Chain A
Amino acid sequence: MTAPVFDLTGGQVVLGGRRILDDVDVRVQAGEFVAVLGANGSGKTTLVRALVGLVPLAAGRLELFGTPLRSFRDWPRLGYVPQRLAVGGGVPATVGEVVASGRTGRVSRLRRFSKDDRRAVTHALEDVGLADRVHDAVATLSGGQQQRVLIARALAGEPEVLVLDEPTAGVDADSQDTLAGALGHLSNAGGSVVLVAHELGPLAGLIGRAVVLSHGRVVSDGPPPQPEGHHADPHHVHLHAHEGLPPQRAGFGLT
């Protein structure tokens, strides 16, 4: 049996003197499609940032593919898509350049991109439906398209596991469908996906397991909750605010 992709036990994260995560156990097996759900401020983003090693653990133990984080070196097996409103950078860059940069970790310093590298970049662009925009400046794309560029950048590294932080936030419906398609391909090919979501939209059908956080602790971990009653209507609007949050559109009563 292969080692789990992520194995976090007793994970605690303290940022600026505040305890953001406490005693979190999360184990993700190869091939799983996991959603991390919870209200704003519940620690979702911190959890995925801790899983990819961007936030240090104050206590607990994290293994990636069976190797403790400290000695883990096989980073190209991971793909990470941070929460960003735009691709960013103060200098223009083409879609192709940004996506190709996701492959940098796989190509040694003095080597040029091989045929395989270029194929991976093209494939990633096709997967997010932007193959025809490869020579365009990223800044000329819409917000949803830029989000797809960020996902293609991670896919270009051909990762075994993709970690995404709110990939659907503020993204138009078309881009959400394209994104669901790309993640579906990765999942069907045996890849694992861990994503933070506030709103699942077209991703709902792909999710095999939901980890729900509240105030930095895991409050439920299992099959994704099924929408019921009027919550099942994908277009329903939450007019009754949850936990003091403003009314919002949601597919599940978890927001």
Chain B
Amino acid sequence: MSLLEFDFMRRALVAAVLVGLAAPAIGTFLVQRKLSLMGDGIGHIALTGVALGFLLGTAPVLTAIVVAIAGAVAIELVRERGRASGDVALALLFYGGIAGGVLLIGLAPGGTNATLVGYLFGSLSSVTGTDLVVIVALSVAVLAVVTVFARELFAVCQDEEVARVSGLPVRFLNILVAVSAAVTVTVAMRVVGLLLVSALMVVPVATSQQLTRSFRATLLGACLVGAVASVSGLVVAFYADVAPGAATVVLALGGFLVAVLLGSARRLVAR
């Protein structure tokens, strides 16, 4: 395969596989608790973090992670206190994140909105060796969290009150989900961009659940769909010279349509 001759493509492929696995893994728990748009909210907040990085002259990815985690934990605490519904809390993050990002980039020396575009839509081909180390480490960390805490996260996302009465550390687990989602968003922003991050967390789950009955199968199926979509998105982007993030999401949505048709066909046959 000629695309493997390029260093930047080999790095991009490794990043795509790992992000393709990690984003749907944490996304499954967000969908289970009906917070599908949480990834989007965190993505918007991360934009403020990116701009802050430019303003301070530090690595934008680093500030993006810090700000995204702070935003995700804030949304979780607001939700827990019942001060605002998850829905309204998300809306606040959307607006605050975009406005903050555009405001701060204007203050940064030489910064314009164009600086942010690479982060909004992803720039997988610009992944450096150092970036790759960070992406690998963080994706593996997210996958480890999901594996170790799967049983407890399932219980909490299924029914928070029952989990509380059965003595599970509910607040810790909620914050763990929020932090993992924030880390996933900032890692995935290189692959698909902040505006499409949530698609990689949600669409594979929606695709997988058309064909599954169990939570376990949905989670594993979503990871498979995510990895296949992001790798094939990258390959399509390489040969067709289009944006990899957009190609990945369009392919994932295509997969969703196929899964809906297969699921309906199976239900008709079963009848």
Contact = CB atoms under 8 A, between A and B. Distances in A.
B158 A92 contact: no
Given A91-B218, A109-B148, A135-B213, A104 B155 contact: yes
A104 B209 CA distance: 24
A36 B159 CA distance: 23
A58 interface: no
Contact of B218 (A73, A79, A92): A92
Interface stretch (B27-35, B57-65, B122-130): B27-35
B216 A109 contact: no
A202 interface: no
Contact of A104 (B33, B166, B214, B218): B166
B165 A80 contact: yes
Interface in A31-79: 52-54, 73-76, 78-79
Contacts of B157: 89
B152 interface: yes
Interface string B219-248: 100000000000000000000000000000
A126 interface: no
B180 interface: no
A92 B215 CA distance: 6
Main secondary structure of the interface of A (DSSP, over half): loop
- Size class of the A contact interface (CB-based, 8 Å): 35 or more
A75 B166 contact: yes
B167 A92 contact: no
B36 interface: yes
A89 B32 CA distance: 5
A102 B28 contact: no
Contact of B213 (A54, A84, A94, A101): A94
Nearest to B28: A91
A105 B163 CA distance: 8
B88 to A, nearest CB: 17
Contacts of A104: 151-152, 154-155, 163, 166, 168
A149 B7 CA distance: 53
Contact of B162 (A76, A102, A137): A102
Interface string B57-89: 000000000000000000000000000000000
Given A105-B167, A137-B213, A80 B161 contact: yes
Contact of B165 (A75, A93, A135): A75
Interface in A98-127: 98, 101-102, 104-105, 107, 109-110
Contacts of B159: 82, 84, 88-89, 101
Contacts of B154: 93, 97, 101, 104
A97 B214 contact: yes
Contacts of B216: 97
Interface string B140-182: 0000000011011011011101111111100000000000000
A79 B107 CA distance: 56
A90 interface: yes
A101 B155 contact: yes
A112 to B, nearest CB: 10
Contacts of B34: 90
B115 interface: no
Closest 8 pairs (CB-CB, A-B): A75-B167, A105-B166, A80-B165, A137-B213, A91-B32, A93-B215, A101-B155, A104-B155
Interface of B: 28, 31-34, 36, 148-149, 151-152, 154-155, 157-159, 161-168, 205, 209, 212-216, 218-219
10 contacts: A78-B166, A90-B33, A91-B31, A91-B219, A92-B212, A93-B158, A104-B163, A104-B166, A109-B149, A157-B166
